Amino acid sequence: MKLTHIRATFLAGLTLVGALALTACNGDDDTEAASAGSSSSASTGGDSGSGGGSDDSEKGSSGSSKGSGNGGASGEGTSAGTGSGSGSNGQSGGICRSDELEISAADNTTDKEEGVVTVQFKNGGGHDCVISGFAGVDLKTASGDTMSVDRNDDKPLRDVLKDGESAAFNITFPVNNSGGSGVRVSKILVTPPNETKTVTIAWPAGSLPADNPDSQSTDRPIRISPLGKVSDSPAG
């Protein structure tokens, strides 16, 4: 009985030690698994985050490079646009625009038969512009009638106006020597060459003969000359 009790106690002890050893092993395995899982998770998360960030960064760089490329293309477009815009904005090589011209008129009549009104375009756009050809001109009378003015036979020239420089043309017309009021002109409607916007300025001279003032058969019909650069106009 004594031996049997000791053996039973011994076997119970072995069972307990085995259980403890197994628990310890399982605990280590779980710890290692948890550690491995944590390491794997951290590593995967970190790599994924870093990799994604790197990809995003690379994509961002690529996008930025594309942006630069597009910007470059856009820049080229802008240059092309500027060249094209030169024409529309009146920059060097572009036409002189109505909005950038200071338009005025003066009576330069010295003849008793033929009058002269000089219309001047001063470049106030801040940059060079090109002016060439004939302006469009209509005369508005005090009674509300409109008379179109034809061109003379002079050949137009192409001129570049720097900022502050001027070009001008003449309106020649028959002087009213009848002693009567004649046809009173009130306004000049002027459209610069190659433009569509008309500017209205006051007529500075006397009246026209009442008898067919705009007739083409008269000795001195109303005519306009082409624009020419004013030689003594200072650059601003």
Q: Is the domain of 110 the same as that of 198?
A: yes
Q: Which residues make Cβ contacts (< 8 Å) with residue 104, sequence separation at least 6?
A: 119, 120, 122, 201
- Domain of residue 122 covers 98-229
Q: Is the domain of 69 the same as that of 133?
A: no
Q: Is the domain of 145 the same as that of 65?
A: no
Q: Is the domain of 77 the same as that of 14?
A: yes
Amino acid present at 33:
A
Q: Is the domain of 78 the same as that of 151?
A: no
Number of separate domains in the chain: 2
Bridge partners (DSSP) of residue 95 are 130
Dump pLDDT digits (tens) for 77-131: 322 233 333 444 434 559 999 999 999 999 999 998 999 999 999 999 999 999 9
Global pTM?
Answer: 0.59
Bridge partners (DSSP) of residue 116 are 172
The b/e string for 141-177 (b: 16+ C-beta within 10 A; e otherwise) is beeeeebebebeeeebeebbbeeebbbbbbbbbbbbe
Look at residue 234 and tell me if it is in a domain. no
Domain endpoint, select from 29, 59, 89 = 89
Q: Is the domain of 13 the same as that of 62?
A: yes
Dump pLDDT digits (tens) for 48-62: 333 333 344 343 333
